[in-house]
């Protein structure tokens, strides 16, 4: 255990969303550079979810990774007729002609295979700080792990996996190619919310399922602004995220 | 009409209340009875908390008190709390393979101390924050924090002990 690793009680408090912004950001930074800690946080999240599901959702298997809701073929078909929704005035980049099915499918698979990340996190250390430490604790989401070198269409990228205290999950994909997500429109689909943007030489893709659309929009806007300026979230953004907090899915009760 | 409104307000918490009762009692029938008794108390109550957070805490406190009454009635209440595990007893590495399914979690939960079961049921099943738990249990927030931590360590140890499903590979997970 490294000297800088937070106390186990602090890590649990982090998983429960109990730390203030400064402390949570400190843990998030430690998680980002310590694969073993990331693994621990991810497993704590999994255990927390498993306990909730074990008693709330009957006999449903708690920690089984979700199967993709759509097959690759159907996702490709769906991608062809996506209903494009403008999510915030600053987040609209339009559609290009390139098919985006592969990237969406891969991103959703990564997002659904939530529990892959503890293993993948051991593959290498990701220097989040070089980019920004995307602190979403005001939105009730904590960084639970980072995956490196995951396939995203014809390129590779990183994934920041966020989880809420009551079942919300959010994935931020970052590619070192600004055009990596070119073919993807910002969409509100029946099965997922997706938004993309590009800053300098990086492409960003944000994915969630069963999340309140307004909450997702606020988070996306905040992340886009933060990544554009490479600074932490400003106070109005943090407040907007706090105010937009809503439970995810239809099984959870706030 | 008043009763209907009371019922509607109560119903939105039904799932978590039943989950909490189940986590505490480890018995589906007892859990249903506890929730039923809770409904009766709620319907009988002349005053209910207006604030939604306070109302939710009030409901869970009713269930908790009902459960303690039930324990007393069958003389199973442990007078002496079991010793808590020292933090050092459970290495963080014990989380590594503590991945679980419903049955395993329920089994492991059954073997937790009352104290650990109590706090994890409130936090992970009830969805309460540490501050709320502290008020409900009448203990300092710091104690809640350490109990949650020790409770999860104990749960992880039990899950590892029972050797539940290890997360070895994606292909293995698909078989779950």
Q: What is the pLDDT of residue A25?
A: 85
Distance from CA of B47 to the nearest CA of A (A): 23
The size of the A-B interface in CB pairs under 8 A is 125
Q: Identify the residue with better confidence: A138 or A67.
A: A138
Say how far apart CA A194 and CA A169 lie, in whole Å. 13
Q: Is A8 within 8 Å of B101 when comparing Cβ atoms?
A: no
Among residues B73, B97, B113, the one where a domain terminates is B73
* CATH code reported for the domain at A8-243: 3.30.200.100
What is the band of A50 on the pLDDT scale with cuts at 50, 70, 90? confident
CATH number at B106 reads 1.10.10.10
Residue B143 lies in a domain: yes
* Residue B176 forms part of a structural domain: no
Q: Which of A191, A212, A194 is nearest to A74 (CA)?
A: A191
Residues in chain B closer than 8 A to A44 (CB atoms): 95, 152
> If you ran DSSP here, which 8-state letter would residue A67 be given?
P
Residue-range definition of the domain harbouring residue B153: 87-169
> HSE-up of B74 (CA within 13 Å, CB side)?
8
Domain boundary among B41, B73, B105: B73
> Does residue B44 sit within a domain?
yes
* pLDDT tens digits along A177-214: 767 777 666 665 677 888 888 877 778 888 888 888 88
Domain presence at residue B80: no
Residues B102, A119: C-beta atoms closer than 8 Å: no
Q: Is residue B82 part of a domain?
A: no
Residue B41 lies in a domain: yes
B168: buried, middle or exposed (CB in 10 Å: 19+, 13-18, 0-12)?
exposed
| Domain harbouring B46, CATH code | 1.10.1740
Residue B7, phi then psi, degrees to nearest 5: -65, -45
Both B13 and B47 in one domain: the answer is yes
The answer to whether residue B175 sits within a structural domain is: no
Total domains present in chain B: 2
Query: Same domain for B7 and B58?
Result: yes
Ordered by start, the domain boundaries in chain A are 8-243
Q: Which helix (H) or strand (E) covers residue B58, if one does?
A: helix B52-73
- B19, B64: one domain: yes
Closest by Cβ to B16, choosing from A13, A165, A253: A253
> At A60, is the pLDDT very low, low, confident or very high (cuts 50, 70, 90)?
very low
Q: Are residues B92 and B69 in the same domain?
A: no
Structural domain contains residue B81: no
pLDDT digits (tens, 9 = 90+) for A96-113: 333 455 677 778 777 776
Q: Last residue of some domain: B30, B51, B73?
A: B73
Average pLDDT, integer, range B73-83:
54
Task: State the alpha helices, DSSP H only, in chain A.
Answer: 8-15, 21-33, 35-56, 72-80, 101-112, 117-121, 128-131, 213-229, 235-243
**Mean pLDDT along residues A122-133:** 38
Instruction: Give the pLDDT band of residue B2 (cuts 50, 70, 90).
Output: low
Q: Taking residues A115-138, what's their average pLDDT?
A: 46
Q: Do B15 and A253 touch (CB under 8 A)?
A: yes
Q: Does A95 touch chain B (CB under 8 A)?
A: no
Closest partner residue to A40 among B92, B109, B145, by Cβ? B92
DSSP string, A117-182: HHHHHTT----HHHH-----GGGTEEEEEEEEEEEETTEEEEEEEEEETTS-EEEEEEESSTTTTT
- Measure the CA–CA gap between A105 and A203, rounded to whole angstroms: 17
User: Which residue, A211, A212, A210, A228, is CA-closest to A91?
Assistant: A228
- For residue B158, which of B95, B76, B115, B114 has the smallest C-alpha distance? B95
């Amino acid at each position: 255990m490294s000297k800088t690793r937070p106390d186990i009680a602090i890590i649990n408090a982090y998983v429960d969303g109990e730390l203030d912004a400064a402390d949570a950001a400190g843990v998030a930074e430690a998680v980002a550079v310590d694969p073993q800690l990331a693994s621990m946080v991810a497993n704590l999240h999994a255990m927390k979810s498993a306990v909730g599901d074990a008693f709330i959702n009957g006999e449903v298997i708690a920690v089984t990774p979700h199967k993709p809701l759509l097959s690759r073929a159907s996702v490709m078909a769906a991608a062809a007729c996506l209903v494009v929704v403008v999510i915030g005035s600053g987040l609209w980049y339009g559609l290009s002609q390139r098919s985006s099915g592969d990237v969406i499918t891969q991103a959703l698979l990564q997002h659904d295979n939530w529990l892959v990340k503890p293993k993948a996190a051991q593959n290498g250390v990701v220097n989040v700080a070089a980019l920004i430490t995307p602190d979403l604790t005001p939105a009730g989401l904590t960084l639970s792990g980072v995956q490196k070198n995951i396939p995203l269409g014809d390129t590779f990228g990183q994934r920041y996996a966020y989880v809420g205290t009551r079942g919300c999950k959010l994935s931020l994909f970052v590619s070192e190619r600004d055009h990596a997500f070119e073919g993807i429109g910002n969409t509100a689909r029946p099965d997922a919310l997706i938004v993309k943007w590009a800053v300098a030489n990086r492409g960003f893709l944000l994915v969630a399922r069963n999340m309140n659309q307004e909450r997702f929009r606020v988070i996306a806007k905040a992340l886009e602004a933060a990544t554009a300026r490479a600074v932490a979230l400003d106070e109005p953004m943090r407040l907007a995220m706090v105010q937009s907090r809503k439970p995810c899915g239809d099984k959870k009760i706030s | 009409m008043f009763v209907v409104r009371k019922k509607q307000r109560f119903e939105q918490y039904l799932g978590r209340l039943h989950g909490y009762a189940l986590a505490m009692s480890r018995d589906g029938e007892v859990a249903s009875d506890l929730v039923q008794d809770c409904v009766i108390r709620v319907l009988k109550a002349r005053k209910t908390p207006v604030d939604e957070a306070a109302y939710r805490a009030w409901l869970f406190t009713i269930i908790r008190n009902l459960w303690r009454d039930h324990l007393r009635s069958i003389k199973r209440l442990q007078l002496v709390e079991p010793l808590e595990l020292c933090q050092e007893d459970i290495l963080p590495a014990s989380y590594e393979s503590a991945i679980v399914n419903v049955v395993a979690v329920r089994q492991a939960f059954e073997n937790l101390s009352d104290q650990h079961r109590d706090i994890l049921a409130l936090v992970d099943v009830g969805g309460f924050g540490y501050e709320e738990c502290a008020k409900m249990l009448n203990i300092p927030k710091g104690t809640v924090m350490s109990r949650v931590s020790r409770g999860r360590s104990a749960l992880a140890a039990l899950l590892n002990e029972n050797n539940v499903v290890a997360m070895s590979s994606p292909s293995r997970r698909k078989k779950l």
